Amino acid sequence: MQDCNCNNPLHVHFKDYFSENINTWCTNCGNYGIQAAIKRALVAEKIKPCRTLLCFDIGCHGNGADKIDGFRFHGLHGRVIPFASGAAVSNRKIKVIAFGGDGGSLGEGVNHLVSAIRSNYEVLFILHNNLNYGLTVGQASPTTKAGVKMNASPDGISSDPIHPMRFVLSLHPAFAARTFSGDIHHMTKTFQTGLRHKGFGFIEVLQSCPTFNHMTPHEWYQKRVKDVNKIKNYDPKNIGKAMQIAEDLETQIAIGVLYQNPDSVPFMERQANRLKAKTELTDEVRQFSTEKLFDAFR
């Protein structure tokens, strides 16, 4: 990783997050836009690579783990949130961002998403929702629409899909937003707001998958998304209104910050035994001799 000159935090450049590794996503994949937007957001918020931990799950998005500079972790399928949460608890001086797909995050890892929202760890979680398992060549995911034929489901999906925002809002999160992979400017602004939020931030990215998801291509979303900032008197503090406006995924799809709790108190700020601590947990790591422990078994 480059020396990002942490002694001068005001000078952050796009090139600071540059990687010489070449992206290998399919042409027109939404991941290109998402990666560009997160770089722009980090630079705009003056967050340097040496103050950033980028955590990637398994999936197409995870192939970008070595295509951006900074501290990066590429984990196990569906398990990126617990790792990111642990990192955020251990060192609050680092901005922790986690990326996961709709399959890993709402399938085998859905319990971790629930726990992170309830605990309100200081993690920004970005859900890449392309309605399929792209890395395993077009299997149905928990968000694939009912009746759609996929490579591993030639007769069509018989189960109703999970509605991510309905699910998340039912847990009363601290921050919930939605954006679209075809609009880098909107993604950047949404990511910036999420980075400034205290507590767990959930951002769903409606992502096109040109190779395997032909039901909702880029143009399909482009005609349907509507920024809540254009809705007169929209109040993101009203969770009831957020639930109502988030429901439509077919004709007029709301994007932007749908809900934000201004009184959010992150997990570590609610732990009585840490309120007076002057150090981070990582500062308290020590080496201890295990000699006496092993002596007990001799």
pLDDT level of residue 7 (50, 70, 90 thresholds): low
The span from the CA of 217 to the CA of 130, in Å, is 9
pTM, full prediction: 0.93
Where does residue 108 rank: exposed (0-12), middle (13-18), buried (19+ CB within 10 A)?
A: middle
**5 pLDDT more than 70:** no
What fold, for 29-295? Rossmann fold (3.40.50)
pLDDT digits (tens, 9 = 90+) for 105-124: 999 999 999 999 999 999 99
Closest to 177 in 3D by CA, of 41, 275, 6: 41
Cβ contact 56:62 at 8 Å: yes
Stretch 92-99: mean pLDDT: 96
Residue 231: pLDDT band (50, 70, 90) is: very high
In angstroms, the CA 132 to CA 295 distance is 54
Domain boundaries, the chain: 29-295
CA-to-CA separations, 169 to 123, 175, 240, 269, in angstroms, rounded? 17, 9, 9, 23
Residue 295 has what pLDDT? Answer: 86
In sequence order, what are the residues at sequence separation of 6 or more whose Cβ sits closer than 8 angstroms to the Cβ of residue 141? 101, 102, 103, 106, 107, 131, 132, 133
Give the pLDDT confidence score for residue 1 in this predicted structure: 43
Mean pLDDT throughout 170-185? 98
Supply the pLDDT for residue 2.
46
Phi, psi at 223, each rounded to 5°: -80, -15
Nearest to 127 by CA among 187, 67, 41, 192: 187
SS3 253: strand
Query: Residues for the chain: how many in total?
Result: 298
Q: Which residue in this structure is represented by tokens 């969770």?
A: 239
Report residue 292's pLDDT band, with 50, 70 and 90 as the boundaries. confident
The strands making up 124-129's β-sheet, listed across from edge to edge, are 71-74, 52-56, 95-101, 124-129, 201-206, 175-180, 253-260, 225-227
pLDDT tens profile 41-51? 999 999 999 99
Q: What average pLDDT does the structure give for the chain?
A: 93
Mean of pLDDT values over 6-23: 83
> Tens of pLDDT along 58-87?
999 999 999 999 999 999 999 999 999 999
